[in-house]
Amino acid sequence: MKHEMTNQEYNEYIKKKTPNSKIFTNCIKAFIAGGIICVIGQCITALMKKWGLNQEDAGTYTSIILVFLGALLTGLDIYPRIAKFAGAGTVVPITGFANSVVSPALEAKTEGMVLGTGAKIFTIAGPVILYGILASWLAGIVYWIISLF
C-alpha cells in the first residue's frame, strides 16, 4: 500500500535532497573568473594599442581574439571546466558567447556537418542574437522618435 505524503513531509524530503546553496562563494568565484577574463581582454587591448592600433581597432581585435580563445578553449574541453568552477563569471563575457555557439555544434557533430553542426550551432546563442538585434532596433527607433522633438 502506498503512503501519501503530506505537504510538510514533502517539503522536508525536498530539504534533505536539495544541496545547500553557496551563493557567497559562487559570487566570489564568478567575480574572480569574470575579472580575469576582463584583465586578459584589457592586456590584449593594451598590446594592440602598443602595436599602433587606435582604440576602436584595438577593441575590435580584442573582441575577435577573445571569441577565438573562447571557441578554442571550448573545443579543447577547457572552457567548460572553467565554467563549472566559475559559473556566471564565464557566461557573461564575450568568451561565454563563443562557448554558447561552439558547445552545441560540438555535441551535434556526430549527426553530420549540415544537419548536425550546421543546424545546431546557434541553438543557444540564436535567441540571444535575435532578441539582441530586435531590442537594439527598437531602441534605435525610440531614440530616433525622441530626437525629432
The total domain count for the chain is 1
- Over the stretch 41-59, which tens digit does the pLDDT of each residue have? 999 999 999 999 999 999 9
Mean pLDDT of the chain, nearest integer: 85
Q: Could you tell me if residue 39 is inside a domain?
A: yes
Q: Which domain holds residue 94?
A: 22-148
Length of the chain, in residues: 149
Residue 7 falls inside a structural domain: no
| 3-state percent helix, strand, coil for the chain, nearest multiple of 5 | 80, 0, 20
Dump pLDDT digits (tens) for 87-127. 888 877 788 878 877 877 777 767 776 776 667 766 767 77
